[in-house]
Amino acid sequence: MRRRRSDTAEAQDADASGVPEGASGEDASLAEPDGNGSGPKRAATTAGKGRPTPKRSESERRRRQPYNAPKDRKEANRAYRERDRATRSRRSEALRRGEEWALPARDRGQARALARDFVDSRRRVSEFYMYGLLVLMVLLFVRTPMIQTLVPILVLAAVVVMAGEGVLLGRKVRTLVEQRLPGESTRGVRLYAAMRALQIRQLRVPKPRIKPGDSY
């Protein structure tokens, strides 16, 4: 009898509050009357995005990039060699153009670039040294007494001329770097300029940026 009376009292309280028995807290909050007492509140609605939400699998498939794994070790090695060849070719082209990132340590820096431009700005006797050396090597095989006597003299004269021009060129390059690039290190720039002057113009690396007679 006591349980029935308590159940009856709870049902009467629920009817008085307008919330059905057993409703959750969220349902109860929706059933509460508004300030005007006109009725229960309605849940606020959220505006949609205007398009359906993509599935997770579709989003991951869009982010992935196509990758074809090699079938075996031989194909993987071939693909690696092709990539390595392409990388070396790109670096070699950039080196010939004189791009800073591809230059070795001995060619980097503004001082070395200025030295290259100074050497390339005019024709010099040193750049024909290699041609003369080839001629002297051919003359060594000529068994004529006069030629055999003349070859050592020509070799000595070529060495003296190359050494003298190299010393003068190194001094000019060092003075030029000190004037135009104050504070820049001139260590090794004289030898660098002299060695570049000995190279054939078409074979110089990096290749000349200016032609003979142009200003540097």
Side-chain half-sphere CA neighbours of 92 within 13 A: 6
The H or E element spanning position 193 is: helix 189-197
State residue 67's pLDDT score: 56
Q: For residue 40, what are the β-bridge partners?
A: 33
Backbone angles phi and psi of 11, in degrees to 5? -65, -40
The model's pLDDT over 61-86, given as tens digits with 9 standing for 90+, comes to: 666 656 566 677 888 888 888 889 99
* pLDDT tens digits along 106-150: 999 999 999 999 999 999 988 998 898 889 889 888 888 988 899
- From CA 206, how far away is CA 183, in angstroms rounded? 24
Average pLDDT on 207-214 reads 91
Using CA atoms, how far apart are residues 79 and 70, in angstroms rounded to an integer? 8
Residue 189 one-letter amino acid: V
Q: Domains of the chain: which residue ranges?
A: 74-103, 106-216
- Sort 158 into a burial class: Cβ within 10 Å, 0-12 / 13-18 / 19+: middle
The secondary structure of residue 125, as a DSSP letter, is G
d(CA 86, CA 128): 34
Task: Of 144, 127, 116, give the one whose Cα is nearest residue 214.
Answer: 116
pLDDT tens string 148-185:
899 999 999 999 999 999 999 999 999 999 999 998 99
User: Rounded to the nearest 5 degrees, what angle is found at the Cα of 86, between the Cα atoms of 81 and 92?
Assistant: 125
Contact 176, 118 (CB under 8 A): yes
CB contact at 8 A, 96 and 205: yes
Mean pLDDT of the region 33-38: 47
* pTM attached to this predicted model: 0.62
Which three-class secondary structure state does DSSP give residue 40? strand
Report the C-alpha gap between 190 and 60 in whole angstroms.
59
